Chains A and B, each alone.
Chain A
């Protein structure tokens, strides 16, 4: 490798394009981790888009069963949306608290995020249970199959996020704001905000467009 150190002749711009930005070398760990997690989130969004596509295709396939307009309760959805959007705010607060190494505010903000997430899940669970009780479960028609899968998939992500959130709190409690834990916190925050973005799409496509008569 010593050979490399001496290969000093300028061959920077063989095609004479004019601008040569020399690559400085491998990126720092924090950047690499965040970037990799972004790529994962994009892949997750691709998966969601398949369920969105299925919902769009099967929207009219009610097989004589109830339509969206008869089933969806917009007030419920509004509360869910508020919970999730506010939880994104508190998640941002937790990130800031972690950045300034303030444990008290970190725990408080994370606990608030967790609580809001749980309220969201409870409302969603009640909605699902109510639909099943009314005979509009996922096996009733292809439309309901697509509805339950898409919304349920988002709900599962929120559940996983809450598990992750509790693990993060435990980690900060046990180990403090170590560099690797801060990297994980960055990923968690990205994950939680991405769930918000997906919820906005769910809200628009499933509940607004889906309840059009």
Chain B
């Protein structure tokens, strides 16, 4: 009846996960009770859970990423403490548990923090920058978000019911095969990624179509803001790479569930095929994450330097070059697994070539700053911090891309330091820059600058204190994923790293405090003009937060930096223009499809993990029925009357007149 699920699945004998899980459950229940008692549930359902508005979905993505960031971060703290005290001792974590923690940390940080964060920002901003009312497929967008949430839920469920994979974040067979991992850990891993992967694919299709087919009048390709370009490149990579992950995990699951032989040791299975497939997805994944961050830096650097982006066209070219080359280097992830010198040489050279377009980008940002009027607001600090950090990460990356060097450094702490260097210094800094930069657009008030700067400096310093020692430990021969060790020279570095971790924890606290303080002072921080940073692209042309329809009518774009030119023009002509003719606007209606579909997906995923077959069928039928019901409805749009549009738009124009008259010239 309940498959493999028994009471023994709940780890009553292990206090750490049980207490952590208990706290989370109590907190969740408390929030839920508070919401119900205060009567917020109808509002949440109407305005957020069933919302198909790309801005709301974007916000929910970022919220999901933030919550999961706390979870993944606490895993990191546990690991650093373990390695600091586990010199000639077992430390405080049993090996079983430690292995689950590093696997969960990697999985969560990549799939449920970095991915939803960048997809959330893209969702929020790209339709605004393109000057359109919504993404191409609004309801599908909601489905994609809720499926991602399902994946995150399943991963967290593994904390209390059953176990998580002990295989590392990519679950290499044969370790992840049934013979060596008979428990449900790998199943949790694979099904949560499979379900959230569908969500990611949906988001990718949606954003590619949005950028290619829904641009406002006059928005030619070479007038799109840089963030739209990097969004396009990143989502093209999603569409091309995520199906590979789906296929690979499907093969692994077939091996585990039905006794197939894709990756087994016996009957002719081929483990190297898994390596090739998983990294054919995994390498582009790195660029799926970092390209949007590059776009964010481009926007931030040009806005806060008060200059157009230097070398816009070379930037576009570099972006697309990275998009293509990223698919040609996957083999550098297993130089040491016997591919032979010729293959290694080719992939080593291809890997180093990626540094060229990346270098182009760095120089372009520097030249954008050169001669500009730079304002060091928080987003700009993150961007400059990124440039310094990412260059170091890139240089160590070139080192690892040299096959002979890789034979020494692979699988060591050096590697751990390298990819944290590029992913924290690139993706996370970019996510925080974008968060601070676009927060006023999403909520109508700015974030507190003092706490934001404190958070930046703590993260920046904490990052170096944590990861430079890991480079050193790697050079001294320390391999990664060690539960405990007996080499005395590694120990001091591990202790420094745990101090760095403490500083990073302070940084996270600063971020939380920043949010609380800003919400409390929101009246003082209110952004009435919709353009708090004196921005250059179209998202700043509407109010903050934007009305549900984004723009009262489609803006007419005449060049790069569309809004900057509009401001300059409006100032020259002293607002002597006729009011446009307002029309009725049709917007897509809210729909619970995404939420209901994810509900059934959760049931199905959970049932698959525990082999509860009747429940799997129930989930499948439920998900299919949800879509049929959705397809059956008669009215999928509602109309906002022209009078309302005019009222909202007039108020917005009145608010920003003062600001525009102060704006700089082109």
Contact = CB atoms under 8 A, between A and B. Distances in A.
Interface residues of A, number: 60
Interface string A14-34: 110000111111110001110
B217 A24 contact: yes
A46 interface: yes
A1 B563 CA distance: 10
A89 interface: no
A76 interface: no
Contacts of A141: 261, 267-268
Interface string A126-168: 0000000000001111110110110000000000000100010
B444 interface: no
A43 B205 contact: yes
B246 interface: yes
Contact of A63 (B208, B215, B243, B267): B267
A63 B636 CA distance: 56
A186 B261 CA distance: 38
B216 A25 contact: yes
B524 interface: no
A11 B562 CA distance: 11
A180 B262 CA distance: 42
Contacts of A75: none
Given A61-B270, A141-B267, A149-B254, A23 B218 contact: yes
Contacts of B217: 22-25
Contact of A7 (B205, B260, B558, B628): B558
Interface string A46-66: 110011011001100111000
Nearest to A27: B213
Contacts of A32: 136, 209, 213-214
B268 A1 contact: no
Nearest to B266: A63
Given A43-B242, A145-B254, A36 B270 contact: no
B570 A23 contact: no
A6 B577 contact: yes
A138 B260 contact: yes
A57 B631 contact: no
A108 B427 CA distance: 54
B313 interface: yes
Contact of B239 (A8, A25, A39, A143): A39
Contacts of A27: 213-214
Interface string B514-542: 00000000000000000000000000011
A62 B268 contact: yes
Given A43-B201, A46-B244, A57-B273, A171 B632 contact: yes
B37 interface: no
A125 interface: no
A4 B541 contact: yes
B560 interface: yes
Interface string A163-198: 100010001001100001000100000000000000
A101 to B, nearest CB: 19
A54 B251 contact: yes
Contacts of B552: 1
A120 to B, nearest CB: 22
Interface string B269-280: 110010001000
A184 B633 CA distance: 14
Contacts of B222: 15
B44 interface: no
Given A27-B213, A58-B270, A1 B240 contact: no
A23 B542 CA distance: 21
A25 B260 contact: no
A43 to B, nearest CB: 5
A3 B567 CA distance: 7
A7 B213 contact: no
Contacts of B247: 47, 50-51, 54
A62 B541 CA distance: 64
Contacts of A42: 239-240
A44 interface: yes
Interface in B551-609: 551-560, 565-567, 569-570, 573, 575, 577-580
B98 to A, nearest CB: 33
A1 B542 contact: yes
Contacts of A78: none
Contacts of B258: 138-139
B158 interface: no
Contact of A1 (B206, B239, B557, B580): B580
Contacts of B240: 42-43, 46
Nearest to B134: A26
B260 A145 contact: yes
Contacts of B653: 1-3
Interface of B: 132, 136-137, 201, 204-206, 208-209, 212-220, 222, 239-240, 242-244, 246-248, 250-251, 254, 258-262, 264, 266-270, 273, 277, 313, 541-542, 551-560, 565-567, 569-570, 573, 575, 577-580, 624, 628, 631-632, 634, 636, 649, 652-653, 660
Interface of A: 1-12, 14-15, 20-27, 31-33, 35-36, 39-40, 42-44, 46-47, 50-51, 53-54, 57-58, 61-63, 138-143, 145-146, 148-149, 163, 167, 171, 174-175, 180, 184
10 contacts: A4-B555, A36-B206, A42-B240, A43-B204, A43-B239, A58-B269, A138-B258, A141-B267, A149-B250, A171-B631
Given A14-B560, A20-B220, A145-B267, 8 more contacts: A2-B653, A26-B216, A36-B205, A50-B244, A57-B270, A57-B273, A145-B261, A149-B251
